[in-house]
Amino acid sequence: MQALGAQARVSEHPNILTLVATYEDEDSIDILRELCQGTRLFSTAEVQDGYAEPEPFAKKQALQLLSAIDYCHKQGMLLFF
């Protein structure tokens, strides 16, 4: 349950899924997170002449990821991949 408390602390960041609710019984814990609609990550890249332009797309995605990691660190969370 400690991980769920950490998830709740960082849920307000725009690039981190919001923890909506948790339901626990004696056998399991169910986690309800916000719905993420849209396309797959790489299908959103700009396509020109059949090829994706990787630099602007990669820069945007990297900045969003780094922003989320920075926010987690400032909230006292350590991330392990």
Mean pLDDT for the chain overall:
79
Q: What is the pTM of this model?
A: 0.68
Residue 47 or 7, more confident: 7
Pairing mode, strands 19-24 and 47-48 = unpaired
- Is 3's pLDDT higher than 60? yes
- Is 2's pLDDT higher than 70? no
Percentage of the chain modeled with pLDDT above 70? 72
pLDDT band at 11 (very low <50, low <70, confident <90, very high): confident
| Beta-carbon-side half-sphere exposure of residue 65 (alpha carbons within 13 Å) | 8
- Is 58's pLDDT higher than 90? no
Q: Give the mean pLDDT of 65-79.
A: 87
